[in-house]
Chain A
Amino acid sequence: MRSIVTYTGSAFRPLHREGEKRGIRMSGDKSPMPAKKVLEVYFLENRARLLEIASFLDRIDRTKDPETGKADFRYRALMRGLRILLESEGNRTKALQINFSDLSREPRQSAAGLKRAYGAWEGPFGENH
């Protein structure tokens, strides 16, 4: 799994230091809602989202060619994302966003014929999708 704290450049600095730099404590300190209330309000919708992910993965397993799906850069990015959810302590959303991001720094040679984004980065050799 790609580490979320090893990128160079200011955008990729260790996540826990970002709040310190701005004097912001990053772990929900400014939420006025107590934790129990957060669970009451948001648990069911997030339980449903988890079931949707499970069902999506099962759907790929039921295809004629599940290995093709599992080799796709989007599937692999999603699996990395699930591990990030389990292993991160705070700032999970930012870590996930970085997981899905193009981490190269040079402009693309051409965008001719390209309009859409895919939601995950194929890597430095995937510029032409």
Chain B
Amino acid sequence: MAHGRDPSVKIIEPHIHMVSRTTDDYQALAISGIHTVTEPAFWAGFDRGTAEGFRDYFNQLTVCEPARAAKFGIKHYCWICLNPKEAEDLNLAEEVLEIIPDYLDRPTVVGVGEIGLNKNSRNEMKVLEKHVAIAAERNELILVHTPHLEDKLKGTLLIMDAILSEKRINPSRVIIDHGEEHTIGEIKDKGFWVGLTLYPNSKCSPARAVDIIETYGSDCIWMNSAADWDISDPLATLKAANEMRMRGHSEALIRKIFYDNPKAFLSQSPKFEAS
């Protein structure tokens, strides 16, 4: 199982950017036992210039991708937001925040995400707080992007403070994604769910992710690939599952991490139904 292809494994991929992947990847997900995905709104690799550009993207997420996925028997859900990498322009951010509620009403949208911080700036904080207010107002699930590398620890703490200051938000309805060894303890202590991202160099390897499960336990935690337009692996979850199996972890624990846990969190949205 060097390539992790085992159709007997049932996996939900809760964080993947399929707009940036080829149709071949949908086929690979399907034949590998991944029949449910959720796709957070994110940065396209360049800054979009207008709110209309975001409308096009949100239509792609809510109309085109579910149809593309369905051809392979995959259920495609998504999250809507303005990504923190595009939050520095407050005027544009305000325009995009205005249209977000229209899309949150769509049938495959499970919540607000991936919101958070990138370089931990004051404007990013303002836009984060506005997203949190929208989620609180509508009782939406939240998926949080935490910053990369040296910015992660500080950003994760700032994000959690911002969310916890909104008293209408229950942390059990928020997943703080891209957790790593220096942030997971704090995230779990505060009652949030935590996501581990299997991504080359800048996030977790399968081996480190399994080390984290062995250290911090398997409750309220999921793994995802966050595969996008950069070098990344849409089948990374299978490789982590295989790493667990190789070390002698039980099939029940593997199913909990890769299927039961994401299903439990996402099922807090009435729109979500796992394959």
- Which residues of A have CB within 8 Å of B214? 28, 30-31
Q: Flag if A117 contacts B186 (CB, 8 Å).
A: no
Q: Flag if A117 contacts B181 (CB, 8 Å).
A: no
- Which residues of B have CB within 8 Å of A94? 181-182
* A82 CB to nearest B CB, Å: 17
Partner of B123, one of A11, A30, A105, A110: A110
Q: Flag if A101 contacts B150 (CB, 8 Å).
A: yes
Instruction: Assess whether A120 is interfacial by the CB under 8 Å rule.
Output: yes
Instruction: Assess whether A58 is interfacial by the CB under 8 Å rule.
Output: no
Instruction: Assess whether B189 is interfacial by the CB under 8 Å rule.
Output: yes
> For the complex, what is the distance from the CA of A114 to the CA of B152, rounded to whole Å?
15
Q: Flag if A118 contacts B149 (CB, 8 Å).
A: yes
- Which residues of A have CB within 8 Å of B63? none
Instruction: Assess whether A109 is interfacial by the CB under 8 Å rule.
Output: yes
Q: Flag if B157 contacts A119 (CB, 8 Å).
A: no
Q: Flag if A110 contacts B88 (CB, 8 Å).
A: yes
Q: Which of B5-13, B29-37, B114-122, B260-268 contacts A (4 or more CB under 8 A)?
A: B114-122
> For the complex, what is the distance from the CA of A98 to the CA of B156, rounded to whole Å?
13
Residue from A42, A98, A109, A115 having most chain B Cβ neighbours under 10 A: A115
Which A residue's beta carbon lies closest to that of B148? A117
Q: A41-B246, A107-B121, A108-B120 are in contact. Are A93 and B153 (CB under 8 A)?
A: no
Chain B interface residue bracket vs A: 35 or more
For chain A, residues 103 to 129, give those with C-beta under 8 angstroms from any C-beta of chain B.
103-105, 107-112, 114-121
Instruction: Assess whether B249 is interfacial by the CB under 8 Å rule.
Output: yes
Partner of A105, one of B87, B154, B215: B154
Q: Flag if A102 contacts B122 (CB, 8 Å).
A: no
How many residues of A are counted as interface, with CB atoms below 8 angstroms from the partner's CB atoms?
A: 41
**Contact flags B170-213 to A (C-beta < 8 A → 1, else 0):** 00000000001111011011000000000000100001100100
Q: A11-B153, A112-B88 are in contact. Are A97 and B182 (CB under 8 A)?
A: yes
Q: A24-B215, A94-B182, A107-B158 are in contact. Are A32 and B150 (CB under 8 A)?
A: no
Instruction: Assess whether B217 is interfacial by the CB under 8 Å rule.
Output: yes
- Which residues of A have CB within 8 Å of B186? 10-11
Instruction: Assess whether B251 is interfacial by the CB under 8 Å rule.
Output: no
Q: Flag if A24 contacts B217 (CB, 8 Å).
A: yes
* CB contacts between A and B, total, < 8 Å: 109
Instruction: Assess whether A59 is interfacial by the CB under 8 Å rule.
Output: no
Instruction: Assess whether A57 is interfacial by the CB under 8 Å rule.
Output: no
- Which residues of B have CB within 8 Å of A107? 120-122, 124-125, 158
Partner of B215, one of A26, A100, A118: A26
- Which residues of A have CB within 8 Å of B247? 31-33
For chain B, residues 206 to 248, give those with C-beta under 8 angstroms from any C-beta of chain A.
207-208, 211, 214-217, 246-248
* A15 CB to nearest B CB, Å: 9
Which B residue's beta carbon lies closest to that of A30? B214
Q: Flag if B123 contacts A111 (CB, 8 Å).
A: yes
> For the complex, what is the distance from the CA of A108 to the CA of B120, rounded to whole Å?
6
- Which residues of A have CB within 8 Å of B118? 111, 115
Q: Flag if B120 contacts A24 (CB, 8 Å).
A: no
- Which residues of A have CB within 8 Å of B157? 9, 11, 105
Q: Flag if A103 contacts B185 (CB, 8 Å).
A: no
Binding site for B on A (CB under 8 A): 9-11, 18-19, 21-22, 24, 26, 28, 30-33, 41-42, 91, 93-94, 97-98, 100-105, 107-112, 114-121
Cross-chain pairs A/B with CB under 8 angstroms, 8 sampled: A11-B186, A22-B185, A22-B189, A31-B247, A97-B152, A103-B154, A107-B122, A110-B121
CB-based closest 5 A-B pairs: A111-B121, A97-B182, A32-B248, A111-B119, A117-B149
